[in-house]
Amino acid sequence: MRLEPGAVIEARELAPVIGRLVAVPGRDRLVHLQFRRFAGCPVCNLHLRSIVRRHDEIEAAGIREVVVFHSSPDELREHTADLPFAIIADPGKRLYREFGVEASRRALLHPRVWGTIVRAVGRQTWGIIRRRERGPATFPDGGRYGLPGDFLIGTDGHVIATKYGEHAYDQWSVDELLELAAKTPAVTR
């Protein structure tokens, strides 16, 4: 079941693989809850690098990044230790089900993702050769066919906006996220 804008998220604290518990909804800022695929996913890593590059802008806009993967905490720590935001392990896909984020073969087979896959795999291969990155598991927890999902959640728990990806690289850009946050009424911030 997909969530629609206006739905209310039950308050919870999520345990990141590194760091302190994260409140969702946030107590003093919007939360961008994004669902990615698996630890070491080249396509996910490409997207997360765009988030890292502009993380200061995202925080200045009053947004906290929280990223969920369907991998184990141990596997995630090897791939995400240097990221400046909360990474949540959900190998049982409990949160994925709750938020209606699905898996599908179209994640990798959609023609709009093919160029990104080539670019992402090439970039990751270069990182592996230079010993700056580690490749993903051969058989990742939860499989390879996950679709991304993005949720902007207000401090009052209301879902402000959603995006359910149609392929592996179909998510909000940083510019789209900042634009959504700028349109958010002060009451939900």
The domain that holds 135 is classified in CATH as 3.40.30.10
Range of the domain at 154: 12-180
Mean pLDDT of 1-29: 95
Mean pLDDT of 90-94: 94
Answer yes or no: is pLDDT of 64 > 70: yes
Residue pair 57/77 in contact (Cβ under 8 Å)? The answer is no
Out of 38-52, 80-94, 131-145, pick the least confident: 131-145
In a domain? residue 7? no
104 vs 152: which has the higher pLDDT? 152
d(CA 53, CA 167): 23
In a domain? residue 187? no
Cα 46 from chain centroid (whole Å): 12
Answer yes or no: is pLDDT of 188 > 70: no
Cα 119 from chain centroid (whole Å): 19
In a domain? residue 185? no
- DSSP for residue 63: E
Residue pair 89/73 in contact (Cβ under 8 Å)? The answer is yes
pLDDT band of residue 103 (cuts 50, 70, 90) is: confident
Each residue's pLDDT tens digit, 116-154: 767 767 666 766 666 667 766 666 666 667 899 999 999
In a domain? residue 75? yes
pLDDT band of residue 80 (cuts 50, 70, 90) is: confident
Which pLDDT score, from 0 to 100, does residue 128 have? 66
d(CA 60, CA 181): 11
First vs last Cα of the chain: how many Å apart? 26
Give the burial string for 89-117 (b: 16+ CB within 10 Å, else e). Answer: bbbebebbeebebbbeebbbebeebeebb
In a domain? residue 6? no
Which pLDDT score, from 0 to 100, does residue 153 have? 97
Which pLDDT score, from 0 to 100, does residue 169 have? 86
In a domain? residue 170? yes
Q: Of how many residues is the chain composed?
A: 189
Which pLDDT score, from 0 to 100, does residue 138 have? 64
In a domain? residue 188? no
Name every residue whose Cβ is closer than 8 Å to that of residue 133 and which is 6 or more positions away in sequence.
40, 45, 124, 127
Strand blocks (E) in the chain: 12-14, 22-24, 30-35, 63-69, 86-89, 149-153, 159-164
pLDDT band of residue 39 (cuts 50, 70, 90) is: confident
Edge-to-edge order in the sheet of strand 30-35: 86-89, 63-69, 30-35, 149-153, 159-164
Which pLDDT score, from 0 to 100, does residue 82 have? 85
In a domain? residue 2? no
Mean pLDDT of 82-98: 94
pTM of the model: 0.86
Which pLDDT score, from 0 to 100, does residue 46 have? 83
45 vs 152: which has the higher pLDDT? 152
What is the number of domains present in the chain?
Answer: 1
